[in-house]
């Protein structure tokens, strides 16, 4: 309670009178910033001199605040500060406005007034710029296409008592505002383009109806229609379009008049680009439009206008003076170019001749989009772990038949990455390797020792190759089915990365052991596992190799197609086998010159490079220095390059085709002769340039094969054909007669003859010439002497 004034009474008085009613008698509200309907009003502060409104009063809060001098308070504090009244006097004034009677004797014995506020002398101060009525200094007529006046845009400024024009708040420019008025048909103006209820004093202009300012004797009228916003100098625009002359759309009427003074057609729309509509755009049908931008936030205006003119204007160009005039003034406009930079008509013609047609700015992409032109100019940057074979920070599937040598191959590949040595003739990116040996930890250690022994690596040399045995010391293993285990694995990988300073290759050996319980044929389950592998790749920055198995027939990677479809690199591994001469004969391993079975690795998938590259290797025995309990040395194997066959070693008829293999070979050559097509780009098949669709090849085989199943049992025949093709095509591929690309569903004849000449008629093989430049490195190495070139 304020002594004799109960707090509840003071609150009732303030609630009964909007604070803007109390303040409105002492300030001039700014129509531009104020919102009378919400009781949210702005004015120039009555407590300090200013040219732009920073004094805010809000009815909902019953308070005022000046953002310039900091003065603030309620109804009573305002009256005390602005009139010098006492607190009881201020309460009495507001209570009278509210029609609320005060208690008797409340005018005396009042406490001291509230905390001090800026005081204003009772003598009226000199008027501030905000209190001076704006004057019309320029009018711009907007007409219809026939020249009849629709409305005017009026430029208003405030003249100070000393005759100068009031400045903006920052003092850098003249204060101005623009308002629209239209004729009422009786010689007076309506100060708005909208329909609605207006009022006026006798003989005055019509203004928007405001009940708070209504007084007796004022006339009111409801205007049912308004004036449509149009373009400036509309008739001149139509003349320019008809004459094929350019039309300059500038950012204000003053600039449009400047363009006219230079001999061009200039136009704009009232109220700026924010009020540009399709109706404005329709006025420029078949026009040659040049959108002239001020040197400010020009891009948005250019896009707004140009996009709306698409399909309407004959041509659209954008002129940004800041792009063609060195040092052009910030926020400078068309008139500035003429007045400050000496712009002339001849110069403008030259500028317009060089302007390209408008193209919008490319969108800001959240998905890393780049245009074709941008990509073409960028240098090619592609990171390989093994150049042209395995990409860096990718996922690699290494799949092989049983006993094909998968673990030995991945050990050899990993150690060469760890040591920075070439692999199969390809440069590697050196870095640490982590081998998660889920299937055989002890065997992996043995193979690792064998590699070090065979390559003369001292026990004191710490090669950055880490082998993890998740079952060692009572461990519970490792599973790609368990997110928690995957996260722990990632965390440890990152620690090893910090220890060695790098991590380039992670091996998970094998997929089957790391996914116990998974249905390999389920694409959903396979995709979830690959998602976790991808998480390992993303978090560690390394390439992740997953060792896997081929299917029983050795024709493809085992399990769901999602395993291969969602990775960039796949290496398939097989043991080369001879072609049986008859049904009673079994295929036998193809041996090198030292009698060792030859394995063949093939890059079956290379998403971002050339696929079908291959390299051969054999397994060479290594005896370790360590011995078992019987004193015998431990034995293991390492990858080595095959030695060459002696010309007299191979049987004369080893490649002669017979039986089913001959039938399939003949079907292949016939299909390629009848339906051959060019080999698709990106398929690596040596010197072969032609291929045939698998469907055409299978159709030829179907014509030749003698089915055991009767003709009416089509399902049985289909299975019989599939089994026959699986057996024979693999034999032809291994023997070098046939090539295949399952992704593109094509096959091809390699050119190898099925009937080589008898030995006595054969000429000795020509010496191997140095390969021409451009041949892949692995092919060069294969052409070299296998006995001398290390694997």
Specify the pLDDT at position 128.
62
Counting Cβ atoms within 10 Å, is residue 780 exposed (0-12), middle (13-18) or buried (19+)? middle
Confidence of residue 107 (pLDDT cuts 50, 70, 90): low
784 pLDDT higher than 50: no
Superfamily holding 384-572: P-loop containing nucleotide triphosphate hydrolases (3.40.50.300)
How much is the mean pLDDT over the chain?
84
Specify the pLDDT at position 781.
44
Domain range annotation of the chain: 7-125, 234-353, 384-572, 659-755
116 pLDDT higher than 50: no
- Mean pLDDT within 35-57: 83
Confidence of residue 464 (pLDDT cuts 50, 70, 90): very high
Specify the pLDDT at position 760.
46
Lowest mean pLDDT among 86-90, 120-124, 232-236, 623-627: 120-124
Residue of 319, 321, 317, 320 lying closest to 341 (CA atoms)? 321
Confidence of residue 626 (pLDDT cuts 50, 70, 90): confident
How many contiguous H segments (helices) and E segments (strands) does the chain have?
Answer: 22, 30
Residue of 530, 612, 526, 616 lying closest to 571 (CA atoms)? 612
- Mean pLDDT within 112-128: 46
What is the rounded (10 degree) CA torsion for 318, 323, 326, 332? 60
Specify the pLDDT at position 215.
64
Looking at per-residue confidence, does 388 or 264 come out higher? 264
Give the Cα separation of 177 and 29 in Å (integer).
15
Residue with tokens 């093939």: 602
Confidence of residue 682 (pLDDT cuts 50, 70, 90): confident
319 pLDDT higher than 50: yes
Residue 714 sits at φ, ψ, to 5 deg, of -65, -35
Helix/strand/coil (H/E/C) assignment for every residue in 672-725: HHHHCEECCCCCCCCCCCEEEEHHHHHHHHHHHCCCCCCCCCHHHHHHHHHHHH
User: Does an H or E element contain 489, and which?
Assistant: helix 483-500
**Tens-place pLDDT, residues 720-749:** 998 889 888 888 887 788 888 888 899 999
Confidence of residue 120 (pLDDT cuts 50, 70, 90): very low
pTM over 0.85: no
778 pLDDT higher than 50: no
Give the Cα separation of 543 and 505 in Å (integer).
5
* CATH, domain 234-353, list 1.20.1090.10, 3.40.1010.10, 3.40.1360.10, 1.10.260.30: 3.40.1360.10
Looking at per-residue confidence, does 369 or 503 come out higher? 503
66 pLDDT higher than 80: yes
Specify the pLDDT at position 297.
58
Give the Cα separation of 309 and 357 in Å (integer).
12
- Mean pLDDT within 485-493: 96
Give yes or no on whether 7-125 and 384-572 have one common fold. Answer: no
DSSP, res 433: E
Share of the chain above pLDDT 70, in %: 87
**Tens-place pLDDT, residues 158-198:** 888 888 888 887 777 888 888 899 999 899 999 988 888 88
325 pLDDT higher than 60: yes
What's the angle, vertex CA 284, arms to CA 278 and CA 286, rounded to 5?
A: 125
368 pLDDT higher than 90: no
Give the Cα separation of 46 and 69 in Å (integer).
10
Q: Is 16 helix (H, G, I), strand (E, B) or coil?
A: helix
Specify the pLDDT at position 167.
85
Specify the pLDDT at position 435.
97
Give the Cα separation of 60 and 428 in Å (integer).
73
751 pLDDT higher than 90: no
308 pLDDT higher than 90: yes
CA atoms within 13 A on the CB side of 64: 35
Specify the pLDDT at position 416.
95
99 pLDDT higher than 80: yes
What is 7-125's CATH topology? DNA Primase; Chain A (3.90.580)
Cis check for the bond before 466: say yes or no (omega within 30 of 0): no
Give the Cα separation of 442 and 440 in Å (integer).
6
Specify the pLDDT at position 759.
47
Residue-level length of the chain: 791
249 pLDDT higher than 80: yes
31 pLDDT higher than 70: yes
Confidence of residue 527 (pLDDT cuts 50, 70, 90): very high
The CATH number assigned to the domain with range 659-755 reads 1.10.10
Looking at per-residue confidence, does 556 or 755 come out higher? 556
Neighbouring CB atoms inside 10 A of 270's CB total: 20
Specify the pLDDT at position 507.
97
Give the Cα separation of 42 and 35 in Å (integer).
8
């Amino acid at each position: 309670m304020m002594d004799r004034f109960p707090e509840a009474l003071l609150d009732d008085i303030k609630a009964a009178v909007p604070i803007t009613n109390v303040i409105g008698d002492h300030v001039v509200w700014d129509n531009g910033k104020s919102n009378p309907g919400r009781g949210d009003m702005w004015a120039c502060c009555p407590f300090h001199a200013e040219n732009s409104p920073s004094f805010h009063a809000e009815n909902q809060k019953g308070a005022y605040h000046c953002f310039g001098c900091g003065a603030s308070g309620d109804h009573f504090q305002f009256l005390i500060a602005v009139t010098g009244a006492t607190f009881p006097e201020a309460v009495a004034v507001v209570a009278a406005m509210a029609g609320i009677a005060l208690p008797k004797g409340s005018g005396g014995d009042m406490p001291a007034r509230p905390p001090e506020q800026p005081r204003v002398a009772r003598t009226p101060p000199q008027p501030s710029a905000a209190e001076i009525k704006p004057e019309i200094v320029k009018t711009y007529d907007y007409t219809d296409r026939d020249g009849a006046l629709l409305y005017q845009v009026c430029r208003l400024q405030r003249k100070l008592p000393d005759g100068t024009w009031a400045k903006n708040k920052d003092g850098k420019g003249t204060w101005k505002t623009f308002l629209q008025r239209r004729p009422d048909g009786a010689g007076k103006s309506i100060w708005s383009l909208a329909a609605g209820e207006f009022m006026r004093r006798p003989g005055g202009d019509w203004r928007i109806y405001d009940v708070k300012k209504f007084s007796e004797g004022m006339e009111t009228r409801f205007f049912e229609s308004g004036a449509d916003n149009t373009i400036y100098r509309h008739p001149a625009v139509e003349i320019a379009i008809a004459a094929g002359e350019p039309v300059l759309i500038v950012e204000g009427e003053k600039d449009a008049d400047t363009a006219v003074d230079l001999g061009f057609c200039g136009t704009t729309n009232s109220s700026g680009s924010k009020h540009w509509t399709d109706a404005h755009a329709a006025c420029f049908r078949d026009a040659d439009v040049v959108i002239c931008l001020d040197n400010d936030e020009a891009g948005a205006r250019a896009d707004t206008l140009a996009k709306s003119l698409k399909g309407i204007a004959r041509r659209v160009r954008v002129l940004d003076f800041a792009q063609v005039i060195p040092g052009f003034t910030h926020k400078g406009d068309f008139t500035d170019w003429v007045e400050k930079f000496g712009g002339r008509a001849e110069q403008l013609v030259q500028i317009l001749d060089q302007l390209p047609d408008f193209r919008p700015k490319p969108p800001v992409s959240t998905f890393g989009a780049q245009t074709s032109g941008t990509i073409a100019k960028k240098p090619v940057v592609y990171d390989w772990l093994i150049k042209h074979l395995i990409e860096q920070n990718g996922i690699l599937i290494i799949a092989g038949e049983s006993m094909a040598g998968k673990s030995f191959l991945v050990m050899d590949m990993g150690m060469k990455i760890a040591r920075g040595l070439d692999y199969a003739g390809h440069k590697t990116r050196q870095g640490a390797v982590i081998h998660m040996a889920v299937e055989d930890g002890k065997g992996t250690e043995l193979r690792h020792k064998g590699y070090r022994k065979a390559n003369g690596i001292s026990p004191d040399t710490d090669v950055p190759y880490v082998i993890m045995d998740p079952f060692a010391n009572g461990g519970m293993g490792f599973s790609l089915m368990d997110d928690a285990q995957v996260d722990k694995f990632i965390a440890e990988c990152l620690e090893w990365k910090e220890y060695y300073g790098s991590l380039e290759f992670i091996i998970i050996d094998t997929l089957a052991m790391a996914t116990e319980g998974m249905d390999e044929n389920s694409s959903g389950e396979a995709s979830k596992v690959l998602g976790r592998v991808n998480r390992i790749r993303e978090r560690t920055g390394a390439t992740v190799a997953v060792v896997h198995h081929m299917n029983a027939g050795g024709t493809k990677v085992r399990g769901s197609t999602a395993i291969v479809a969602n990775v960039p690199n796949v290496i398939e591994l097989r043991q080369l086998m001879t072609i049986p001469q008859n049904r009673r004969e079994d295929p036998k391993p193809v041996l090198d010159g030292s009698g060792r079975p030859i394995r063949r690795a093939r890059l079956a998938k290379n998403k971002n490079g050339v696929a079908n590259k291959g390299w051969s290797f054999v397994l060479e025995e290594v005896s370790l220095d360590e011995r078992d309990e019987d004193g015998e040395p431990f034995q293991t194997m390492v990858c080595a390059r095959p030695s060459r066959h002696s010309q007299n070693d191979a049987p004369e008829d080893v490649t002669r085709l017979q039986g089913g293999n001959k039938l399939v070979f003949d079907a292949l050559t016939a299909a390629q002769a009848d339906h051959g097509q060019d080999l698709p780009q990106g398929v690596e098949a040596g010197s072969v340039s032609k291929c045939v669709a698998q469907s055409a090849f299978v159709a030829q085989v179907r014509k030749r094969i003698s089915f055991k199943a009767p003709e009416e049992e089509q399902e049985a025949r289909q299975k019989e054909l599939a089994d026959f093709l699986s057996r024979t095509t693999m034999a032809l591929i291994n023997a070098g007669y046939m090539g295949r690309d399952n992704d593109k569903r094509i096959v091809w004849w390699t050119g190898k003859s099925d009937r080589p000449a008898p030995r006595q008629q054969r000429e000795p093989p020509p010496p191997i010439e140095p390969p021409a430049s451009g041949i892949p490195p692995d092919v060069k190495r294969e052409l070299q002497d296998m006995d001398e070139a290390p694997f």
